[in-house]
Structure 1
Amino acid sequence: MVAELEKSAIDKRITRKVLKNSGLSPKDALLDAKYFDYDKEARFVREACDALGDITFAARAGSTWRVSNSLTGYISKYSKDLRAAIENTARFHDIIDPAVQYSLRISSNSASFEVVWKDPSYAKFHRHTEFLLFGVLSRMRAITQTDFYPLEIRFDHEVKKSAEKFQKLAGFPVVFGTESLEIILPLATLDLPIPTYDLRLREHLTEYGGRLLEERGEGKQSLRSRTEGLLTKALPARILSADEIAASLGMSPRTFARRLKEERLTFRTIVDELRFDLAKTFIKDDMALSEIAFALGYADQAAFSTAFKRWSGLAPRDYSEAH
């Protein structure tokens, strides 16, 4: 991603600025870096698209992702065919990715590589979602050494007038505003052989992955993350109350408020910051202000505009023109 940004940016200072705004250092961006903060990576992708003024940059960068040095990357590389690669790595993906899980669903005429958020709070990072799905497709093509075309890629967010740009970039149907995140594949692609198949290495890696799964504990999301996830799931049109969130988390309202206070947070702060974050993304996705107001649970466009100006110091239309 960093390399693609450096190729695309006319001013080389842009990369340093994007890294800084994302809370990343140049060391974090090294190709051999073994660990990364998922939230910071998602913010880096968003900042890069904004800095370039290119809504399709993340998808384009994902399309260049050919090599993975992770455990699941090697398991897929040594699997027999694409179907085996997807099924083998899906089991161990939890080890390397704190935010998503995926599965393979097969029907009579197609197959679906479906992505589900383990942490729904990350669904707000639309550009990173595009990077992920186009990256997955690129990896599938790399391990099979075949530039096949899926039937569709589906996203559950909207980009309105920019949809044609993604279609042109991909060369196949890219659909927005669907109910789920998925890559729809022709059934024949599941049988594509993987030239680097090695049964011995694959079995060794899956045994190792099994031990890692047994040794690791269940990842625990922060209270803020779980709250944002529940709020995001309830959208559009409705913002859950603090009492409803507390009940969903198995807490009393008083315990919920106390736990937030321990993290130096309030429920209102989380709601406002989530709404502001989503509003900025929706504006860049070319959504009408009336649609944004509805999606974020405001009574009308005027109420949304008042809130947005309080957050940013700019009216939504002024912010749209500036970005």
Structure 2
Amino acid sequence: MGIGINIEDMEKAFLTNNNIMYQYIEPELNRQLTLVDSEKSFTNFVQKELLSAIPSGHFSIDEMSKKLGISSRTLQRNLSAENTSYKEQVQAIQKSMTFSYLRLNLSTDEISYLVGYTEVNAFLRAFKKWTGLSLTEYKNKNR
């Protein structure tokens, strides 16, 4: 997955703070550090990437695998090894984001867009599937 980083190389100091090479690899280093600091599961790493990808609308499995530097099949295989799928992870993050946005009192249209739905009705059907309640029923119950 991506660039392999050797611990011994990480401990070597750059000669200057303005090193062009450092500016080039810094984003990848930060991504790798996030992965190391996280729960150390591939699923957790994918979830973190989905949190930023879903609002942008660029979260298809092909787009995500390209972002991670692996094939779509490898992405699916790694998630399957952790007893989940890409679709399940997208839905879990969309659901989590939805409840966060509901606490911010965003409109249904805004929430639908931010969690990656192009049609509000598709979002409303998904919400009912997640909760067993319509969005209006959920809002009334949780006021």
TM value normalised by structure 2: 0.68
1:72-151 matches, cutoff 5 A: 119=34
Partner of 2:139: 320
Partner of 2:130: 311
Larger relative contact order, structure 1 or 2 (CA cutoff 8 Å, min sep 6): 2
- Quick one: distance in 2 between partners of 1:284 and 1:119? 27
Q: Report the alpha carbon displacement of residue 239 of structure 1 after superposing the two structures with TM.
A: 4.4
Partner of 1:276: 95
Partner of 1:285: 104
Q: Does the residue aligned with 1:265 lie in a helix, a strand or coil?
A: coil
- Contact preservation (8 Å) 1:279, 1:292: yes
Greater percentage in strand: 1
TM value normalised by structure 1: 0.32
- Quick one: distance in 1 between partners of 2:58 and 2:137? 26
User: How big is each residue's C-alpha offset from its partner over 1:72-118, in whole Å with a ceiling of 9 and x where there is no partner?
Assistant: xxxxxxxxxxxxxxxxxxxxxxxxxxxxxxxxxxxxxxxxxxxx997
**Aligned match for 2:117, one of 291, 298, 301:** 298
- Quick one: distance in 2 between partners of 1:292 and 1:301? 9
Q: CA RMSD in A?
A: 2.4
Q: Report the alpha carbon displacement of residue 303 of structure 1 after superposing the two structures with TM.
A: 1.3
Partner of 1:267: 86
Q: Report the alpha carbon displacement of residue 233 of structure 1 after superposing the two structures with TM.
A: 1.3
C-alpha spacing 1:297/1:322, structure 2 compared with 1 (3 Å)? same
- Quick one: distance in 2 between partners of 1:278 and 1:305? 14
- Contact preservation (8 Å) 2:79, 2:85: yes
1:1-323 matches, cutoff 5 A: 119=34, 218-219=36-37, 221-323=40-142
Query: What one-letter code is carried by the residue in structure 1 that aligns with 2:81?
Result: E
- Contact preservation (8 Å) 1:234, 1:240: yes
- Quick one: distance in 1 between partners of 2:56 and 2:66? 20
C-alpha spacing 1:239/1:315, structure 2 compared with 1 (3 Å)? farther
Q: Does the residue aligned with 2:55 lie in a helix, a strand or coil?
A: coil
Query: What one-letter code is carried by the residue in structure 2 that aligns with 1:309?
Result: K
- Quick one: distance in 2 between partners of 1:244 and 1:235? 11
Greater percentage in helix: 2
- Contact preservation (8 Å) 1:237, 1:294: no
C-alpha spacing 1:272/1:235, structure 2 compared with 1 (3 Å)? closer
Query: What one-letter code is carried by the residue in structure 2 that aligns with 1:276?
Result: K
- Quick one: distance in 2 between partners of 1:119 and 1:317? 38
C-alpha spacing 1:237/1:317, structure 2 compared with 1 (3 Å)? farther
Q: Report the alpha carbon displacement of residue 237 of structure 1 after superposing the two structures with TM.
A: 4.7
Partner of 2:5: none
Query: What one-letter code is carried by the residue in structure 2 that aligns with 1:228?
Result: Q
- Quick one: distance in 1 between partners of 2:74 and 2:113? 31
- Quick one: distance in 2 between partners of 1:279 and 1:287? 10
Partner of 1:110: none
Unaligned stretches of 5+ residues in structure 2: 1-29
- Quick one: distance in 1 between partners of 2:58 and 2:52? 10
C-alpha spacing 1:219/1:279, structure 2 compared with 1 (3 Å)? closer
